[in-house]
Amino acid sequence: MRIKIKDTDVTPLVISCTWSGSRLTVARTLDFTIVQDDRDENIPIVEADTGITVYGYKEADTETQTGALSAQTAAENADKQEEQPVFIGNIYKIERDRAKGTLHITAHDHAFVLAHSKTTRKFTSITPEEITKQICAELGVLPGNIVETGTPVSFIANRKTGYQIIMGAYNEAAKIIKQQAGKDENGKDKEDPKYQLLMNGAKLNVIKKGELIKSFVLDAAANMTESTYAESIENIVNQVMIVDKEGNRQSYVKDDDDIKKHSMFQDVYKEDPNKDTQTEAKALLKKPDRTGTVVALGDYRVISSYSVEVRDSLQNSQSAQFWVKSDTHTFRDGEHEMKLVLEYENMMEDEKVEKEKDKK
């Protein structure tokens, strides 16, 4: 990865660098160490301070399968790539080490603002996409491509972060869309849509989460160096008893297939007049925890919020789709490696919202 601090290209000074993100941490992070020693006149002094903008770019292509590019073509490619940095953020943490002669920098993209800046608002019959634009305007984040739901929602945001408000709005819309979708041909509830926030350069995008990365495969026989897969049923819930406010049993929500396989593990949901009982009860069902962790040759396209095809005999399938929960890309000595935590299902952060109480 090529790195700039403001207008200064510090790539030749970089010792190590990681670029990481997760569907749980909102903002992506660029963490890197550069050589800095004012006692050595051969080392340029870099202006670096908290708040300064940092840019990360893909390395410029210098070769093709047919041979080396001309200097002019390589320069043109570099210019094109510089127009679209994969990371734009600000320095939030800086550490200077005299003994090591290093400068360590931690930068976060602008989603960090949404994750830490709070506000209080009341929304009445407003779509999540409009709420997103309003929150971006209030908190100083540029809106980009915001996926449309066309589904108005109403809730109260009391001292909530911008991220909590936006995700809460999309969660509410997803529940409504799922209810309207009904059942599939097998009589089961159709899968509800999933959404995720992520920065595209300096602008905030809201996307449909889980899109498969095209023309990319994690293959144990090709680009993977390590892989582990784990499954646990210690936290499963496959049956929920619904009771009224006096505790009288009303009905059940259950996963019959899972009960047959693992025995019954039950939770209880008490009816709330301000919430949809079936939706809330079903939300208490918990499937087995299944995760995978792989280390592979790095690819800039593979980041959290998207999904990948995996070919690995350890997960008992010739080919399967996994969703990237978190990614850590490491750049050192000219090598690009990525460590991915994978999920077996397309998961969306379940951000709760406060509803206005029914007036009696």
Domain final residue pick, 55, 85, 109: 109
96 and 203 share a domain? no
Distances (CA, A) of 155 to 124, 137, 267, 273, 342: 7, 19, 27, 15, 33
The alpha carbon of residue 32 and the mean position of all alpha carbons in its chain are separated, in whole angstroms, by 21
User: For the segment 167-210, what is each residue's pLDDT rounded down to a tens digit?
Assistant: 999 999 999 998 887 777 776 767 789 999 999 999 999 999 99
98 and 19 share a domain? yes
For the four alpha carbons of 54, 58, 63 and 69, in that order, the dihedral sign comes to: negative
Q: Which helix (H) or strand (E) holds 222?
A: none
- Is residue 334 domain-resident? no
Q: What is the pLDDT of residue 84?
A: 85
Give the predicted TM-score (pTM) of the model: 0.85
Give the closest residue to 103 by CA, choosing from 20, 10, 41. Answer: 10
Tokens representing 53 are: 């903008």
Q: What is the pLDDT of residue 64?
A: 35
Q: Per-block average pLDDT, block size 10, for the chain (360 residues)?
A: 96 97 94 93 93 93 39 52 83 96 97 97 97 98 97 96 97 91 72 92 96 95 95 96 96 96 97 89 92 96 96 82 97 95 90 74
Q: What is the pLDDT of residue 275?
A: 86
Tokens representing 184 are: 């599939």
Q: What is the pLDDT of residue 358?
A: 60
What CA–CA distance (Å, rounded) separates 195 from 211? 10
- Let me know the angle formed at the C-alpha of 74 by 333 and 76, rounded to the nearest 5 degrees: 125
Name the amino acid, one letter, at 166.
Answer: I
Give the closest residue to 55 by CA, choosing from 37, 82, 79. Answer: 82
- Is residue 246 domain-resident? yes
- Is residue 308 domain-resident? yes
Name the amino acid, one letter, at 223.
Answer: N
- Is residue 332 domain-resident? no
CB 288 within 8 A of CB 236: yes
Distances (CA, A) of 84 to 78, 211, 250: 10, 21, 56
Q: How many helices (H) and strands (E) does the chain have?
A: 6, 23
Containing structural domain, residue 275: 241-281
- Is residue 191 domain-resident? yes
Number of structural domains, the chain?
Answer: 4
29 and 97 share a domain? yes
92 and 131 share a domain? no
| Domain CATH number, residue 142 | 3.55.50.30
11 and 78 share a domain? yes
Q: What is the DSSP code (8-state) at residue 314?
A: G
Q: Which helix (H) or strand (E) holds 157?
A: strand 153-161
User: For the segment 37-55, what is each residue's pLDDT rounded down to a tens digit?
Assistant: 888 889 999 999 999 999 9
187 and 87 share a domain? no
264 and 194 share a domain? no
What CA–CA distance (Å, rounded) separates 353 from 172? 8
- Is residue 333 domain-resident? no
39 and 135 share a domain? no
Tokens representing 294 are: 């792989």
53 and 85 share a domain? yes
Q: What is the pLDDT of residue 279?
A: 85
134 and 264 share a domain? no
29 and 68 share a domain? yes
Tokens representing 78 are: 């570099």
Give the closest residue to 30 by CA, choosing from 140, 115, 110. Answer: 110
Domain final residue pick, 57, 77, 109: 109
Residue 286: CA atoms inside 13 Å, Cβ hemisphere, count?
14
CB 216 within 8 A of CB 311: no
222 and 166 share a domain? no
